[in-house]
Amino acid sequence: MTDNLLEAAGLMVHYPIRSGMVVNRTIGHVKAVDGVDLAVPRGSTYGLVGESGCGKSTLGRALLRLEDITAGTVTFQGRDITKLRGEELRKLRRHAQMVFQDPMASLDPRQSVQSMLTEPLRVHGLAESDRAEFGKNSAKAHAAKAASMLELVGLPRSALGKYPHEFSGGQRQRIGIARAMILNPELVIADEPVSALDVSVQAQVLNLLSDLQDRFGLTYVVVAHDLAVVRHISDTIGVMYLGRMVEEAPADDLYREPLHPYTTSLLSAIPVPDPVVEDARERVLLDGDLPSPANPPSGCRFHTRCPWRRDELCATEDPPLREIAPGRRVACHWAETIAAGRIEPHAAAVVPAKDAEGAGGSATAAD
C-alpha cells in the first residue's frame, strides 16, 4: 500500500438553500461536492481542475475542514479528521495549510507583513525543525524566522515593515505562500494560486511553488481552472464536473489520451498559444451551460452537454468512477468504446480544423 498523506472517501459538501423571512426553512441543497474519493501520496502534487461551479474549491477547503462536511471522511496522516473539533482541529492547522487565489483579499489589509508572518508562530510556536536554527519561541526568534521565510520566497527583508497594499500582485502571493509555509506544514492546498496574477508573473509563482516543494518535501493539492497550469505542476489530475470527479489520470496521460468526453471537450476548448496547433486542431464544442448544482441532471451528470451521449444508460444510470487502466479512473459508461473510436461525437459539436483552407485562403483574398 502506498503512503497516502491525504485521503477522502465519499466526501460530500451540501449547502442548504434557505428561504423565509422569520424562520429559515431549507428548501433544497446545492450539492457542491457530491461523493468524491481521492488519495494524495506523500510528496506528490494532486491537481483539481474544472470549471466554476464544479465544486473544486469547495472540495479543496473541505479537505482542510474549512467547510462543513455533509458526509464522507477525510483522512490526514492516517487519522480520520472528519470529526475533529476545537483544539484538536486547531492543532491540525500546523500541518495542513492553504494558499488562496486572490492575494489581496487573503491578506488582512491592516496587518504588516511581519505581524502576518509571525501570527501563525504566535499561535502554534516554531516548528520542531526550526528550533535548532532560531532558538526557543520568542518574538525575536519569530521575527528571524519570518525574515528568512521572506528571503526564501524572494522578497527583501525590508518588506517586513510594509503592508499588503504596498506590493504588486505577485509579491503579495509570495507573502501568502510564505505565511502558509512558515509552520513547515506537510500539506498545502493552493486554490487558484496564480489565476489572479499577470501572465508574466504566473510562472514566477509556479516555479516558487515547485522549488518549495522540492526543498521541504511538501504535498500539494492545487485547485485551478487552468488545465495548462495544473498539468505543469501536478503529478495526478482529477477533473471535476458538477460536484463529481469524472476522470483521474497521471498528468501526462490526461492530455495525451483523455478518456472522459468532458475532459476531451475541456482540453479542446483551451486555447494554445501557437497558431499552427490552433489551426490544426479539431474542436469539440459543448452545448449550453453548466446545469444547476442544486438540481443536477439524472444519470450521468454530463449527459445534457455530452457530444458522445447515447440513448441508453446515459440519462438513466449514474456512471461510477472506475479504474480502466492502471492509474486511470473514469466515470463514463462508454469510455472504452469511445477510446476505441467506435462512438463518434455528434457532428454538430465538432468544429473542423481550419488549417486545410483558412489562412491560405484569406491571404489570396488580400492579394
Residues 274-293 that bind another protein (CB under 8 A): 274-279, 283, 285-286, 288-290
Radius of gyration of the chain (CA): 23
Give 302 or 334: the residue with its C-beta nearer to another protein. 302
Instruction: State how beta strands 219-224 and 187-191 pair.
Output: parallel
Q: Residue 297 interacts with another protein (CB under 8 A)?
A: no
Please identify, using beta-carbon distances, which residue of 73 and 268 lies nearer to another protein.
268
Considering only 70, 75, 82, 112, the residue that binds another protein (CB under 8 A) is: 112
CB nearer another protein, residue 283 or residue 313: 283
For another protein, give the closer residue by CB, 14 or 225.
225
Instruction: List the helix and strand counts (H, then E) for the chain.
Output: 14, 14
Size of interface with another protein, in residues (CB under 8 A): 100
Inter-helix orientation angle 199-216/169-181, to 10°: 20
For residues 113 to 152, the per-residue mask of contacts with another protein, x marking binding by CB under 8 A and - elsewhere, is ------xx--xx--------x--------------x--xx
User: Which one among 15, 46, 100, 334 touches another protein, defined by CB under 8 A?
Assistant: 100
In the list 131, 215, 322, 346, the residue contacting another protein (rule: CB under 8 A) is 215
Based on the shown chain and the rule CB under 8 A, indicate whether residue 199 belongs to the binding site for another protein. yes
Contact 179, 155 (CB under 8 A): no
Q: CA 38, CA 74: separation in Å to the nearest integer?
A: 9
DSSP characters over 265-322: HHHHHS--S-HHHHHH--EEPPPS-PPPTTSPPSSSTTTTT-TT--SSSTTT-----E
From the list 70-78, 308-316, 334-342, 356-364, the region that binds another protein by CB under 8 A is 356-364
Selected binder of another protein within 5, 33, 40, 208 (CB under 8 A): 208
Q: At what angle do helices 113-124 and 139-152 cross, to 10 degrees?
A: 120
Among 225, 301, 309, 329, binds another protein (CB under 8 A): 225
| Residue closer to another protein (CB basis): 47 or 319 | 47
Residue 312: CB minimum distance to another protein, A: 25
| Binding test (CB under 8 A) with another protein, winner from 30, 251, 332, 338 | 251
Interaction between residue 319 and another protein (CB under 8 A): no
Burial class (CB in 10 A: 0-12, 13-18, 19+), 262: buried
Interacting residues of 172 by C-beta distance below 8 A, sequence separation 6+: 103, 104, 107, 164
- CA 264 to chain CA centroid, nearest Å: 19
250 phi, psi to nearest 5 deg: -60, 145
Run of H or E including 123: helix 113-124
Between the alpha carbon of residue 311 and those of residues 54, 85, 133, 315, the distances in Å are 25, 47, 65, 7
Q: Which amino acid is at 287?
A: D
Nearer to another protein, 288 or 326 (CB): 288
User: Can you tell me the distance from the alpha carbon of 345 to that of 26, in angstroms, rounded to the nearest whole number?
Assistant: 40
Q: Which stretch binds another protein (CB under 8 A): 86-94, 295-303, 309-317, 326-334?
A: 86-94
Helix (H, G, I), strand (E, B) or coil at 244: strand
- For another protein, give the closer residue by CB, 294 or 313: 294
Q: Which residues, 44 to 83, sit near another protein by CB under 8 A?
A: 51-52, 61, 64, 66
Binds another protein by CB under 8 A, chosen from 43, 125, 154, 299: 154
Cβ nearer to another protein, comparing 1 with 199: 199
Shortest distance (Å) from residue 112 CB to another protein = 7
- What does the alpha-carbon distance between residue 330 and residue 333 come to, in Å, rounded to a whole number? 9
Q: Is 337 in the site for another protein (CB under 8 A)?
A: no
Question: According to the binding rule CB under 8 A, does residue 171 interact with another protein?
Answer: yes
Nearer to another protein, 11 or 317 (CB): 11
Minimum Å gap between C-beta 182 and another protein is: 9
